[in-house]
Amino acid sequence: MEGLPQALLEEIVQRITRLSDLNSLSLVSKLFYTVESENRHSIRVGCGLYPAELAMTSLCSRFPNLCTVEINYSGWTAENGLQLDNQGLSVLATCCPSLTDLTLSYCSNINDSGLCWIAHCKKLTCLKLNTVAAISSAGLFTVAVGCKSLSALRLIGLEKVANVNWLEYLGREGLLEELVVVACKGISQYELLRFGPGWMKLQRFEFDEVKGRYEIEQPHDPSHMAHSHYRYDFCCQSLKVLTLARVVTLPEIGLRFFLNNCKSLEKLCLHYVVGIYDSDMITLSRSCSNLRSLSLQLTPLFNGGLEARDVRTPLTDDSLKALALGCPLLETVELTFAACEPSYPSEIGFTQNGFVMLIQSCPIRDLILTGANFFNDEGMKALSSTQYLETLELMDCVAISDVGMRFLAHSPRLINLTLRQCHYVSDRALTEVARSRSLESLIVEGCRRVSLEAIQGAAKSVEYKVDGPGLFCLNRG
């Protein structure tokens, strides 16, 4: 081993991706130990880091070329010893001049003073903070000013962030390409408007207020003036990925302005967004011809009718028709219908005819349907005739039986199939599909009429669980 060329050893190390294998490799010889130390660019540490500061010093000394570091204390208890604190971050910032990507998760001993050290990392391009309770706006502002190369910022569960002066600063600098804000109570959709010119360069944006799924409150935009859109005339031409979740909007205000301005959009996720209607989806389809991936998670809302059960998901077939006509590149579709009673298919605004029109008009390769009680065996027949479908996942689709499942035997390209809580599908239909298709993967969870014996060998990769997560256990709120 000692006689192998240095270049060959480096090539071997670079081809090994599993952390345990790299650790074992370093024990083979002193030369491998040295080469592995010089070529290790990423580490992930947490509860096993003890004593924390001394261990971090040792790691930084051994791996001088670290670029990606994740410090994750998920599941930490007092028995694991003291967590890494601000002084540990000073070691990281001082000893790792090549640091470009840093993730801090559940780090209870790190506060704004620790971020002051991170502000000295001039090459830092990506910072992810997940449930770091002591971090406030002051720390974020320090990073915004100090890290001139920062292009991606992900904030999750930061409850002490009370203002967005740091966001306004980043917007003026126009450096960010990715911004993720999830469960940060002090950051509303209206504070995000202060990002201003920063929207011009942003390519990926995710905002999740994480309110109760059925909590509908009247939003208030302090900057809104009736019939005036001056605060919403942002250019978002670079935005390619947009996720909005658990957001409540009203006409003319809020983050709905994205749907009118994102001509480069390729992936859209709208999860339990209250205030999005067919008119918004029609506008979107007219401007987003590059859309390739769509994820909609919907729940019935009261429509103001006289009947007690006058509830329905807000989007209808008009949205599906607009997408079919305006988004010719759409290849990934995920539709989730939460809290829709199986015995009331009218609670879903989409019909089977509208959905079939979409899948026959667009080159859908990946399809996920959850709680789609309007979709039955006839729909499966139409689905099986589509030319591009490769991956199909069905969960809690109560109207699909063996009759519909057997149509998949004739699907021209289907290679990946997942069934969860589909109680009217049995061994017979699945074995028939497996005999007719060369499946790469088959996943079955919680389907009480399907046995492990029936699907063994039915695909190159088979996963089976007697129980599995169900959708209808969710409360209607």
The pair of structure tokens assigned to 437 is 């298709």
Q: Which of 13-22, 156-165, 275-284, 421-430 has the lowest mean pLDDT?
A: 13-22
Domain contains 15: yes
Looking at the domain assignment, is residue 291 inside a domain? no
Is residue 223 one of the residues assigned to a domain?
no
CATH number, domain containing residue 33: 1.20.1280.50
Task: Give the chain's domain count.
Answer: 1
Q: Give the pLDDT band of residue 464 (cuts 50, 70, 90).
A: very high
Largest CA distance in the chain: 84
Answer whether residue 65 is part of any domain: no
Question: How does pLDDT run across 329-361, given as a tens digit for each residue?
Answer: 999 999 999 988 877 778 899 999 999 999 999
* Model confidence, pTM: 0.87
Residue 332's DSSP bridge partners are 293, 366
Is residue 109 within 8 A of residue 133, CB to CB? The reply is no
pLDDT category at 245 given cuts 50, 70, 90 is very high
Say what the pLDDT of residue 252 is. 60
Q: What is the pLDDT of residue 474?
A: 42
Name the phi and psi angles at 51, rounded to 5.
-65, 140
More confident residue, 37 or 275: 275
Does residue 6 belong to any structural domain of this protein? yes
Q: Is residue 9 part of a domain?
A: yes
Confidence grade of residue 302 (pLDDT, cut at 50, 70, 90): low
Q: What residues make up the domain containing 15? A: 1-40
Structure tokens at 374: 């309007």
Q: Is the pLDDT of residue 24 over 50?
A: yes
Structural domain includes residue 409: no
Confidence of residue 145 (pLDDT cuts 50, 70, 90): very high
Q: Is residue 46 part of a domain?
A: no
pLDDT top residue among 287 and 182: 182
pLDDT, mean of residues 366-385: 96
Report the C-alpha gap between 24 and 173 in whole angstroms.
Answer: 45
The token duo for 14 is 């670079």
